[in-house]
Amino acid sequence: MKDLHKSLGGVVGTFLALSTILGSGMMILPGTSYDTLARSAWMPWAVAALAVVPLLHCYAWLGRRYPSASGVAHYAGVAFNPVLARTSGTAATFALVAGIPATALTGGRYLAEFTGAEALTWLFPALVLGVATAVAYAGTGVSGRLQVALVIALFVLIVCVALVALGSNGVRTPATRLPPSGTFGMVLTSVFVAFTGWETVAFTFEEHKRPDIIPRVFAASYVIVVALYGLLLLSLFATVDPDADGLRSAPLLLLAERALGDVGRPVALVLVTGVITANVLASVLALSRLVFGMARSGHLPAALARLRERDGNPVTAVVAVGALLVLIAVLSVSGLVPLEHLFTFSGGIYFVLYGVGAAAFARLATGMAARAVTVLCAVTVLGVTLLAGPPMWLCWGLFAVLAVTVLATRRRNEHVPASERTGA
């Protein structure tokens, strides 16, 4: 089987990472955390930002040495065995298949609420998923250039809104009083989702021209993400009361309206549309690469590993992924698959995959520094799992059930004659 074409440079790779990470969480989580903890809301964000560093180190280290479209599935296979590789890849596929439509649907709900056009609830998700599939079909180069333009425009717009808000209202000093531990833990668990996405970026690593700069891609995108979240929180502190109506559902709208007046609503619409579009573009591209990698390894039908001759793009995987995502979105809009369940499942599995990546790093890396990173990762994974409660425990349980199923299927196939497995 062929490898994917090496077409990504460091700059485009960094913007792909930013597109993947800055999704629906940016639109909601600053507001919900501020509503719950007032000006102490910065504390769980700071803890989450620090806690994710060792996990990012693991993925950067693995990506530099083992760049593969299968991402965490490949790392698990190299470090452990094919069973964990297939389990991790399947779990990642399920998480993205749930999370991408949920992000698109969140954008549709946001736009429908802003404009009063109820049809946008289903029309926007269908449109953005269709566009993302078409862009991924065009190739990584087209997708990368589009995401660079989108992210730069969004970054400039968000920074301008935040600076206007801070300039008009002044900076309100964040609180230093510690919130109750139970409430703090609940908010920490939710905001940690805002720092997931780098494990999804790993599915594009095979297309990097220079895997040795992957750690710099992670570092640059991490600094920008942390700065952007910090700026949004400070702007909310300065312009919005923590008990304001709409803070939990539309914090960006409140911020834009307080900072820009009548112009705020159209600006908020542009922000929401841009953030969701960039995130879905990056995620569909990443999922198509994962599906290609899984097919190439024999875990999915071989047809999904076909590459277009002229540019090495796995177009069969792209089309299959796009069709499936639209189907999931339609089922969710119809009420058959609740949106909240999609988010809970995908967010939990993303975190489980962080844990798998950390375990692979612990197995493959050597030296005192690697052991220290492993300990920090273990503390983070265990701490967030305990604080998150039953929803996270269920995701770990589902991962274990999937692993047992994969193992049982593998053992059953080993006892089936080769002529029967091939249909001969």
What tens digit of pLDDT does each residue of 393-406 get? 888 999 999 999 99
pLDDT tens digits, 19-52: 988 876 787 889 889 999 999 999 999 998 998 9
Model confidence at 287: pLDDT above 50: yes
Q: Which residue has the higher pLDDT, 5 or 77?
A: 77
Determine the pLDDT at residue 423. Answer: 43
Q: Which residue has the higher pLDDT, 402 or 246?
A: 402
Model confidence at 332: pLDDT above 90: no
Determine the pLDDT at residue 185. Answer: 81
C-alpha to C-alpha distance for 48 and 60, rounded to whole angstroms: 18
CB neighbours (10 Å) of residue 3? 14
Report percent pLDDT > 90 for the chain: 52
pLDDT tens digits, 261-272: 888 888 888 888
Mean pLDDT check: name the lowest of 22-31, 304-313, 359-368, 414-423. 414-423
Determine the pLDDT at residue 52. Answer: 92
Determine the pLDDT at residue 337. Answer: 63
Would you say 129 and 329 are in contact if contact means Cβ atoms under 8 Å apart? yes
The overall pTM is greater than 0.85: yes
Distance of CA 221 to the CA centre of its chain: 13
pLDDT tens digits, 2-11: 788 888 888 9
Determine the pLDDT at residue 181. Answer: 75
User: Which domains are delineated in the chain?
Assistant: 10-410 (1.20.1740.10)
Determine the pLDDT at residue 64. Answer: 94
User: Tokens in use for 381?
Assistant: 């994974």
Model confidence at 234: pLDDT above 70: yes
Q: Which residue has the higher pLDDT, 44 or 342?
A: 44
Model confidence at 421: pLDDT above 60: no
Q: Which residues, in sequence order, are CB contacts of 336 under 8 Å at separation 6+?
A: none
Taking the alpha carbons at both ends of the chain, their separation in whole angstroms is 23
Distance of CA 353 to the CA centre of its chain: 11
C-alpha to C-alpha distance for 347 and 238, rounded to whole angstroms: 30
Distance of CA 57 to the CA centre of its chain: 17
Q: How confident is the model at residue 211 (pLDDT cuts 50, 70, 90)?
A: very high
Amino acid at 70: S
Model confidence at 424: pLDDT above 50: no
Distance of CA 351 to the CA centre of its chain: 10
Model confidence at 291: pLDDT above 90: yes
